[in-house]
Chains A and B, each alone.
Chain A
Amino acid sequence: MRLELLQRLNEARAAREAAIVLTDLASGGQDLLLERQVEAHIEREALETLLRNGRSGSVELGGTALFAGVYLPPVKLVCIGAVHISQALAPMARLVGLDVTIVDPREAFATTERFQGVDLRAEWPDVALPEIGLDRWSAFCALTHDPKIDDPGLHAALRAGCFYIGALGSRKTHGRRVERLTEAGFAADEIARIHAPIGLPIGAQSPSEIALSILSEITAVRRLKPQPR
Chain B
Amino acid sequence: MNEAEGDDVLAIAQGWRSEGREVALATVVETWGSAPRPVGSHLVIDGEGNFMGSVSGGCVEGAVIAEAIDVIGTGQPKTLSFGVADETAWEVGLSCGGRISVYVEPVS
Contacts and interface: CB of A to CB of B under 8 A. Distances in A.
Interface of A: 1-3, 6-7, 9-10, 13, 23, 25, 28, 55-58, 67, 69-70, 72-75, 94-99
A72 B103 contact: no
Interface residues of B, number: 26
Contacts of B39: 55-57
Nearest to A93: B4
**Nearest 10 pairs between A and B by C-beta?**
A97-B4, A56-B40, A74-B2, A28-B77, A56-B39, A67-B29, A97-B2, A74-B1, A3-B17, A6-B14
A64 to B, nearest CB: 15
A73 B17 CA distance: 23
Contacts of B77: 25, 28
Contacts of A74: 1-2, 4
B48 interface: no
B10 interface: yes
Given A1-B108, A56-B38, A95-B4, 17 more contacts: A1-B25, A1-B105, A1-B106, A3-B107, A6-B17, A13-B10, A23-B103, A23-B105, A28-B77, A55-B40, A56-B29, A57-B30, A57-B39, A57-B40, A74-B1, A74-B4, A97-B2
A58 B14 contact: no
